[in-house]
Amino acid sequence: MLIHSIRLNNFKNHVFRQLDFSKQINCLVGNNGVGKTNILDALYYLSVGKSFLGNTDQNNILQGESFFDIEAVVSDEEKESIIRIQQALHSKKVIKKNNKTYTRLADHVGFLPSVIISPYDHNLISDSGESRRKFLDGMISQTDSDYLFNILQYQKALQQRNALLKSFHKNGYFDADSLDIYHHLLIKSGTIIHEKRKAFNQQFSPLVQKFYRLISNAGEEIEVNYQSDLWEHHFEEILTRYLERDKLLTYTSRGVHKDDLVFLMQGLALRKSGSQGQQKTFLISLKLAQMQMIRNVTGKSPILLLDDIFDKLDDHRVGQLIALVNEENFGQIFITDTHKERTQSIVRRINEESKIFEL
C-alpha cells in the first residue's frame, strides 16, 4: 500500500497542509511543536480511523474551528483510492472511500494497514494489561474484521452486564434471567476472541524472537505469552464461578477483557529483567513482527510510522532498523526528527528514493 499525498484542514495545529510523498522513505523534520507527530497521527487516522495518541476526535479539531478534514490519495497494486475523514463539532465522524461513506468502522480497518513506533510504546511494558490488550486488539483487527466485530459486541455486552450488576446492588434485588441474556452474548463473542488471540500469538511470538535477534545480535531468549482465564476454564464456568464476587464488586471481574500479553526475557518479566536498551529493542521487534504478520495475512505491505525514533535508539541502531525494514520490503516509511542533517545522512546511506519535508 502507498500513500501518494495527504491534505489536512484544521487538524490539530495544521490550518492547511498538503504533502506529496515518496514511495519509499519520507522524513518530517523541524523543531518540537511544529506538528510533525500530528502529521503521523493523521496518517494513522487514515488507517484505523482514530488517533494513536488517544485523543478524542473532537479534540483534534483546530482550536476555534468547527471541523477537521483529512484527505489522502492511496493505492494498492490495482488502483488508486481517495480516503477522506471528516469530523465536525457535535457530529459523528464520517469516513469515506471514493466518496462512499462507510456504515461501520470495521469495514474500513485493514484497507490501509499501518504500524507505528513511538515514545509512547514503553507503556506496553510499564502499564497495566489494558495497554497490551489494546495493542493486541489493534494488531488482529487490521487483519480480521470478524475479530473487530466480536470485540465491539463483547464490549457492548460487558457494559450492559456491568450496568445491570450496579442496578441490582443499588436497588437490592437480583434477576438471574436478565443477566443470562448478557452471559450468552459474552460467552459467544468472548470464546471467539480467545481462540483468535491464541492462534495469532502462536505465530506472532516466534516473529518477535526473530527480529529481536536480527536487531540486537544478542543471545537473550525472549517470549510473548498470551495469558487468559479461558486457557483452563470455559467462559460459562468462569461467569458462574465468579457471579457472587461480581455482584459484590458490581462489575465483571473475569473474562477476556482481563487477558494480557506477558513479555519475558530469560524466563523473567521484561520490565524487571531487561535493561533500557533491551526493552527498546524488544519494543521495536514487537512492531516489526506486527508488520510481518499483517503482510503474511493480507499480502499488503503496511506503512511504517517512526515517531521521534532517535529518542529510542542511537544513530547506528536507527540506521540498522531502517536498513532492515528496507531490505524486508515492508513498505512506505515515515520518520519524524528534529535534526535534518542527521536524518538525511542516515536515510541517504540506505536509499536514495526519499523526501525530506521541513516544517
**Average pLDDT for 35-64:** 92
The binding site for ATP consists of 30-37
Q: Does residue 268 fall inside a structural domain?
A: no
Classify residue 118 by its DSSP letter. -
Structural domain span for residue 337: 1-113+300-359
As a whole number of Å, the CA-based R_g of the chain is: 22
Q: How many domains does the chain have?
A: 1
The CATH number assigned to the domain holding 25 equals 3.40.50.300
Q: Does residue 17 fall inside a structural domain?
A: yes
pLDDT of residue 77: 73
Contact yes or no for 303/230 (Cβ under 8 A): no
Q: Does residue 50 fall inside a structural domain?
A: yes
What SS3 state is found at 16?
strand
Q: Which residues of 158-186 are buried (b: 16+ CB within 10 A; e: fewer)?
A: bebbbebbeebeeeeeeeeeebeebbebb
Window from 3-7, 105-109, 304-308 with minimum mean pLDDT:
105-109
- Does 206 have pLDDT greater than 70? yes
Could you give the C-alpha distances from 270 to 84, 274, 278, 353, in angstroms and in order?
40, 5, 9, 37
Q: Does residue 93 fall inside a structural domain?
A: yes
**Average pLDDT for 312-338:** 75
Closest CA to 281 of 202, 351, 209, 203: 209
Q: What share of the chain is helix, strand, coil (3-state, %, to 5)?
A: 50, 20, 25
Window from 13-22, 24-33, 136-145, 305-314 with minimum mean pLDDT:
305-314
Q: Does residue 61 fall inside a structural domain?
A: yes
Q: Does residue 133 fall inside a structural domain?
A: no
* Residues 174-192 pLDDT 10s: 988 989 999 999 999 999 9
The binding site consists of 30-37
Q: Does residue 38 fall inside a structural domain?
A: yes
**What average pLDDT does the structure give for the chain?**
89
pLDDT of residue 330: 67
- Does 217 have pLDDT greater than 90? no
Q: Which band of pLDDT confidence, cut at 50, 70 and 90, is reported for residue 299?
A: confident
What SS3 state is found at 176?
helix
Q: Does residue 213 fall inside a structural domain?
A: no
* Residues 243-297 pLDDT 10s: 999 999 999 999 999 999 999 998 899 988 888 888 888 988 998 899 899 988 8
Could you give the C-alpha distances from 272 to 54, 95, 122, 278, 335, in angstroms and in order?
27, 42, 13, 11, 30
Window from 95-104, 173-182, 194-203, 320-329 with minimum mean pLDDT:
320-329
Percent of the chain with pLDDT over 70: 96
